[in-house]
Chain A
Amino acid sequence: MLSSQLDGEDAPGQWNVAQQHLTSCDTCRRWYDDAAAITRRARMTLVRDGVDVTEVVLAALAAGPRRHRWWGLRALR
């Protein structure tokens, strides 16, 4: 419930119940803080990009998607 709240996916009304619990339970409060921290860090740091594949995959599309040319393309590497 605490996890889905971090994603805005908790059911309506659940958050009130959870908040009440958090005020009285150190373990859950610590878990919630830790979960929020790791979530924030993961969202911010896992950002890298690959090469632009547009031209390569368009060429494959032009070559005909049903001829399974791509098996050949990969095998040639």
Chain B
Amino acid sequence: MMDDAQVTAWALDAGRGDRDAAAAFVRATQTSVWRFLAALTSAAEADDLAQETYLRAWRSLPSFAGRSSARTWLLSIARRVAVDSVRMAATRPRTVAMTLPEDLVDVNGGFDQAIAVEQLVAALRPERRVAFVATQLLGMSYEEAAEVCGCPVGTIRSRVARAREDLIKVLATGSPGKRRGGGGAAS
């Protein structure tokens, strides 16, 4: 786990025009940013969105005062970038079919594979996925995740619990509750 205080110091220095600090800031945070974005959108989109996240971060660096950690500040920007991207994608014709939990049943027995877990997480409702990924994949505390999401800590607590419930249901039955037998069309 990276040193949050050091990362925040780099961000503040970067805001004053220190190029080395900016480079250190990017190197220290880009893995988290990419993984977060890949989980919220897709691995294919994450490279572009990671760049966009930093470009937006540079724009708002002057107003970053270090009151919150730079890591949560940056990931809250990444979350907004992901939300905007999904919103824009929704206005375009969809070219890639969404993975439905029903499709995953076919790979049952192969749940040991990393890709299956990724698909299960990808099938979670967006707000639950954000909470789950932030706390489990990025190792954030509930408080940090709440900062990233702009919601109360209790909301993160219940979203993480519900994400776990959904994952358990899918693993047990191949379907998160009432969506079972839904065929190809997500309603």
Q: Show the binding face of A for B, using Cβ within 8 Å.
A: 2-4, 6-7, 9, 31, 34-35, 38-39, 41-43, 45-54, 56-58, 60-62, 65-66, 68, 70, 73-74
Chain B contact-residue range equals: 35 or more
Contacts between the two chains (Cβ within 8 Å), count:
112
**Contact (Cβ within 8 A) A43 B61:** no
* Nearest CB on A from B99, distance (A): 15
**Contact (Cβ within 8 A) B51 A39:** no
Tell whether A45 pairs with B117 under 8 Å between CB atoms, given A58-B23, A61-B19.
yes
A and B contact pairs by CB, cutoff 8 A, 30 listed: A4-B142, A4-B160, A31-B165, A35-B164, A35-B168, A38-B164, A38-B171, A39-B136, A41-B117, A42-B132, A45-B117, A46-B35, A46-B114, A46-B118, A46-B121, A46-B133, A48-B43, A49-B34, A50-B34, A50-B46, A50-B47, A52-B27, A53-B50, A54-B23, A60-B51, A60-B55, A65-B62, A66-B59, A68-B59, A70-B52
**Contact (Cβ within 8 A) A43 B137:** yes
Cβ contacts under 8 Å, B54 to chain A: 53, 57, 60
Cβ contacts under 8 Å, B34 to chain A: 49-50
Whether B38 sits at the interface, judged by CB under 8 Å, is yes
**Contact (Cβ within 8 A) A58 B26:** yes
Q: Is the interface of B mostly helix, strand, loop or mixed?
A: helix
Q: How far is the CA of A47 from the CA of B121 in the complex (A)?
A: 13
| Complex interface bits, B129-140 against A, C-beta within 8 A gives 1, otherwise 0 | 000110111000
Cβ contacts under 8 Å, B172 to chain A: 34
Q: Show the binding face of B for A, using Cβ within 8 Å.
A: 14, 19, 22-23, 26-27, 30-31, 34-35, 38-39, 43, 46-48, 50-52, 54-55, 58-59, 61-62, 112, 114, 117-118, 121, 132-133, 135-137, 141-142, 157, 160-161, 164-165, 167-168, 171-172
Q: How far is the CA of A61 from the CA of B168 in the complex (A)?
A: 44
Cβ contacts under 8 Å, A60 to chain B: 51, 54-55, 58
**Contact (Cβ within 8 A) B38 A43:** no
Cβ contacts under 8 Å, B118 to chain A: 45-46
